[in-house]
Amino acid sequence: MDVQVQISEWQKSEWSILFLIYRWCFATWLVVTMGLSLELFFFDGKWFIYFTNWGYLLCTFVALLSAILVTVYCFTAPNTPCPHWIVKLYWHLHISAFVCAIGLSFLYWAFIYPFSNFKVPEGIHRIEILRLYRYFFDGPDNHSCLAYFHNINSHAINSVLMIIDQVVVAFPTRIIHFVYPAFIVIAYLVFSIVYFLIGGENVIGKPYIYRILNWGEYPVSSTLVACSGLLLVVPMCVLAFLIYKLRVWVSSGKCLS
């Protein structure tokens, strides 16, 4: 298991330069795009109140940790085994990042995006466009394109990347590990409640972070949304497990026999 977190399911030799390059490309993309997101949408620290950004931060940390682990393995294996606690940390964080990315994408496109619009004054997208105006271009078309890219990257591309990563890696997936992403979801829900209770506002001055988690005006529906989001963790873990089983089946050659 310790070595499995540092290799790919598809490599034939002890270590793979292609897998090493893939790891650093994966990490670089996430680091650069997260840095751009922080630069453009920091909003006096309110970047950190959104679960989308919690998930993206987790994906970025996992990608960086993996790149470092693979680099160490390529240059020191098999003489310097990776500490077991780091292996377990990465293993548990990877499934958490996968679940958060896929779950967030589903929730966003199903329940948040349909009620937002670039032209609605109350919508966060308008705020993003105005902020981009101060940083880059002269015309509104370019603002919309950049804001839309940020939206797509945070709620779609990251999920695609995590699915690809689940196909590439060699370590197993356990459904019982749903407890780790569930803990992150619970931590965020507690944070959202505390944030509301202390009078926190979102980037447009509303007393909630997300409209579907409006604890002040709609506590019942917000509770239902929170419970639904928590329950969504299990099918996301099942999806990760199925990808793992399919990956092993294909790589073993059984699909060709």
The predicted structure's pLDDT at residue 16: 86
pLDDT band at 3, cuts 50/70/90? low
SS3 per-residue string spanning 52-121: HHHHHHHHHHHHHHHHHHHHHHHHHCCCCCCCHHHHHHHHHHHHHHHHHHHHHHHHHHHHHHHHCCCCCC
4-18, 49-63, 130-144, 184-198: the lowest-pLDDT one:
130-144
70-79, 113-122, 165-174, 221-230: the lowest-pLDDT one:
113-122
- Cα 43 to Cα 128: distance, rounded to the nearest angstrom: 10
pLDDT band at 132, cuts 50/70/90? very low
The predicted structure's pLDDT at residue 117: 54
SS3 state at 151: helix
The predicted structure's pLDDT at residue 145: 62
Region 225-250: what's the mean pLDDT? 95
Residue 132 in contact with residue 143, Cβ under 8 Å?
yes
Q: Say which residue, 68 or 142, is predicted with more confidence.
A: 68
pLDDT band at 144, cuts 50/70/90? low
> Sign of dihedral through CA atoms 23, 27, 33, 36?
negative
pLDDT band at 29, cuts 50/70/90? very high
The predicted structure's pLDDT at residue 255: 54
pLDDT band at 156, cuts 50/70/90? very high
66-121 per-position pLDDT tens digit: 999 999 888 886 677 788 899 999 999 999 999 999 999 999 888 877 776 544 33
pLDDT band at 139, cuts 50/70/90? very low
The predicted structure's pLDDT at residue 157: 94
The predicted structure's pLDDT at residue 168: 95
Q: Is the pLDDT of residue 234 over 70?
A: yes
Q: Is the pLDDT of residue 28 over 90?
A: yes
**Tokens linked to 25:** 């490309």
Measured CA to CA in angstroms, residue 78 lies from 74, 86, 218 at distances of 9, 16, 57
2-16, 34-48, 214-228, 232-246: the lowest-pLDDT one:
2-16
